[in-house]
Amino acid sequence: MKHLPHDGLGLVPPADADLAHLRRWAAARYRQRFGPWRRAVLLALMRLVWPAVLTRRALRFARRHRLGWRETRRLVLDCLAAGAEPNEALVWRRTFRPAAPHPLPGKAATLLLSRLGDPAEHALLADKLATGQRLAAGNLRVPTLLATIGDGSLDPDHEIWSVPRQLVIKPRRGWGGRHVNFVDVFGGGWFSVDGGPQSTIEAVRARIAAAGEDLLVQARVVPVPELADLTAARAPVLRLTTARDPSSLPFMHSALLTIAVPDENPRHFVRGQLHVPVVPQTGRLVRGIWFLHAGERFASLPWNGAPIADRLLPGFARAAAMAIEAMALFPGLPLVSWDVILSADGPVILEGNSRGDWILTNLGAIDRSERSLPALLRSWAILA
């Protein structure tokens, strides 16, 4: 019941005709995995259950965030119309204009994007180790891999735990910052996990055991000094979304700088991050967007006053060129968002995501007229 509705269809199709067609197309492909009788019974049952479940979630979300009666009512209707989770339904309506239900919420986006393009390339991109190897073979900078940890087991005698350094430990396959840990190695058997107090190797072991999957241990990428005032617990991440028509060269769709909010969980979709659209032709930042205060636009960071609007990102041109080069290494995919850190030694590509969140995919294009992604994706659906 976590990801509903199971076929990605809400009660009302989106106003965009291409997205409406694509959502029906992806839902039909999803249903093909079931036999005819099971399909009829299961989907009929789900159609009865999921509206009640999402309504309950929306009401709980509204109480937790102290929404007024009008906004609560609007939220419930948006969740039912779009088949969206409450957080994404609220953020879409508050952020994008004209205000409307979310046209491609999480479940629908996953069902659609995973069925467009080459399945083998989707699988390769989902594997951070394999992706890093392909990017490095193409002379693109990626984080330095120091070790791999299989099945969540830790070897305390490995040399990575004895030399003072800054590490990031992440799942080989994962998304959204799940089970990502930042570890400071001080030497002498002392560590700090995610900026916490000094502890022994057992604290690191507990985090790794909790992941319960293959992990990559990488040297942490230090951001360029010019962005020090935008860095709280984590380096700002530049999200570059690239796309291509079938059999055409890739292009930059949008660019977005994501800044972690101090003292907030960076994985919290509403509270954890402030997003700043970037003009892709120049690398100039515009006013930032914090979903917790989606009606506002921030010319500076609200917690330390660091300027945002009209600021130029150092090394942006090279980062944009690298994203296009990276997209060229995956010719069978229509859409990839690349996470990049701007370091003193040049941009470093952390990973790519071919099934990204539709809000973040379009947020970097919020102040500009961009090439229509729905029409582009529909051309890929014709080939599928």
**Distance in angstroms (rounded) separating the CA atoms of residues 94 and 110:** 23
Residue 83 falls in which region: left (phi positive, over 0), alpha (psi -120 to 50) or beta: left
- pLDDT (0 to 100) of residue 345: 92
- pLDDT (0 to 100) of residue 282: 92
**Distance in angstroms (rounded) separating the CA atoms of residues 106 and 8:** 8
Q: Which residues of the chain have pLDDT under 50?
A: 1, 369
49-66 residue pLDDT tens: 888 999 999 999 999 999
In this structure, the dihedral spanned by the alpha carbons of residues 308, 278, 294 and 96, taken in order and rounded to 10 degrees, is 160
List C-alpha distances in Å: 140 to 92, 135, 313, 314.
Answer: 34, 5, 19, 18
Residue 297, classified by CB atoms within 10 Å of its CB into exposed (0-12), middle (13-18) or buried (19+), is middle
**Distance in angstroms (rounded) separating the CA atoms of residues 239 and 50:** 33
Kindly report the backbone phi and psi dihedral angles of residue 159, in degrees, each rounded to the nearest multiple of 5, phi listed first.
Answer: -65, -20
- pLDDT (0 to 100) of residue 196: 85
- pLDDT (0 to 100) of residue 149: 86
**Distance in angstroms (rounded) separating the CA atoms of residues 182 and 84:** 32
**Distance in angstroms (rounded) separating the CA atoms of residues 273 and 263:** 11
**Distance in angstroms (rounded) separating the CA atoms of residues 8 and 362:** 19
- pLDDT (0 to 100) of residue 180: 87
Measuring CA to CA, which residue among 280, 373, 262 is closest to residue 319?
280
In this structure, the dihedral spanned by the alpha carbons of residues 125, 130, 136 and 142, taken in order and rounded to 10 degrees, is 70
- pLDDT (0 to 100) of residue 159: 84
Three-class SS of the chain: CCCCCCCCCCCCCCCCHHHHHHHHHHHHHHHCCCCHHHHHHHHHHHHHHHHHHHHHHHHHHHHHCCCCHHHHHHHHHHHHHHCCCHHHHHHHHHHCCCCCCCCCCHHHHHHHHCCCCCHHHHHHHHCHHHHHHHHHHCCCCCCCEEEEECCCCCCCCCHHHCCCEEEEEEECCCCCCCCCEEEEEEECCEEEECCCCCECHHHHHHHHHHHCCCEEEEECCCECHHHHHHCCCCCCEEEEEEECCCCCCCEEEEEEEEEECCCCCCCCCCCCEEEEEEECCCCEECCEEEHHHCCCCECECCCCCCECCCCECCCHHHHHHHHHHHHHCCCCCCEEEEEEEEECCEEEEEEEECCCCHHHHHHCCCCCCCCCHHHHHHHHHHHC
- pLDDT (0 to 100) of residue 152: 65
